[in-house]
Amino acid sequence: MILSLVNQKGGVGKTATALSVGASLALKGRKVLLIDTDPQGSLTTSAGVELGENEPTVYEVLQGTASINDAIKHAGGYDVIPADINLSGADITLASVAGRDFLLKEALADLKTAYDYVIIDCPPSLSVLTLMNLTASNSVIIPVQATYLALKGMAQLLDTIKLVQRRLNPELTILGAVVTMYDRRKNLDNEILENIRETFPGNTFNTTISSNVALAEAPAFGKDIYSYKPASKGATQYEELTNEIIERCEK
């Protein structure tokens, strides 16, 4: 199962969700590969992956100058294909490449290891990289922060997904939207949750993710939430979300 975590707005908990769900799946015995396609490399850093000089990243894989198998790094119980700042030029350097939207899909077909889940952390934009990711994926998970500003742009994101379904990947589905930074004590947050459920009828996960100090601290130590504070509220909530994902993917 190939899942893309996508939202063109930054700061919605996309990377935290990708890493936490990936780590939780690994703890549940699934073979997991995380792919960082954000030029900021937040997933790479958060997973504690350190890149040596001239080590291949997802950028070299997409360029065709490195094998996807050579770019895989081991991080705890899961694998990671890292990203660095070189990826920021991908929209330009790959723009004229024939069949660019299928580059990641073709690379994934060359994987020598069989994974139960491949989780792709998309950049915070509807860019060439995001289209590649959606073309390679079976489903998308959409993290949405519990604010009205985060809801703005959802129409554009849904239009992009529909475009990919129509032209590039007719099998692509929305696995679900997950509300992040949610506070059930606030009326505004509850109103936004209802709006999101209306936007994604039947596709909004029951689990919500609240603001959590441990989740915010873990990346600074290069650890996922289960390596950092497995008894924290954030770890519990992401385990609940992972159970929902497994139920939807493995039914």
Q: What integer best gives the mean pLDDT of the chain?
A: 92
Tell me the whole-structure pTM to 2 decimals: 0.94
- CA separation for the pair 140, 149 (Å, rounded): 21
What pLDDT is recorded for position 218? 95
Question: In this structure, which topology does domain 2-249 adopt according to CATH?
Answer: Rossmann fold (3.40.50)
Among candidates 4, 31, 48, 89, which has minimal Cα distance to 227?
A: 48
pLDDT tens digit string along 53-112?
889 999 999 999 999 999 999 997 999 999 999 898 888 888 788 889 999 999 999 999
Torsion of CA 94, 99, 105, 109, to 10 degrees: -110
- CA separation for the pair 63, 213 (Å, rounded): 38
- CA separation for the pair 207, 238 (Å, rounded): 8
Asked if the model's pLDDT at residue 9 lies above 90, the reply is no
> What is the DSSP pairing of strand 32-36 with strand 78-81?
parallel
- Catalogue the E-assigned strands of the chain: 2-5, 32-36, 73-75, 78-81, 117-121, 139-145, 173-180
Torsion of CA 23, 215, 232, 116, to 10 degrees: -10
Q: Helix (H, G, I), strand (E, B), or coil: what is residue 251?
A: coil
What pLDDT is recorded for position 188? 85
Asked if the model's pLDDT at residue 251 lies above 80, the reply is no
Buried b (16+ CB within 10 A) or exposed e, 37-60: bbbbbbbbbbbbbeeeeeebbbbb
pLDDT tier for residue 189 given thresholds of 50, 70 and 90: confident
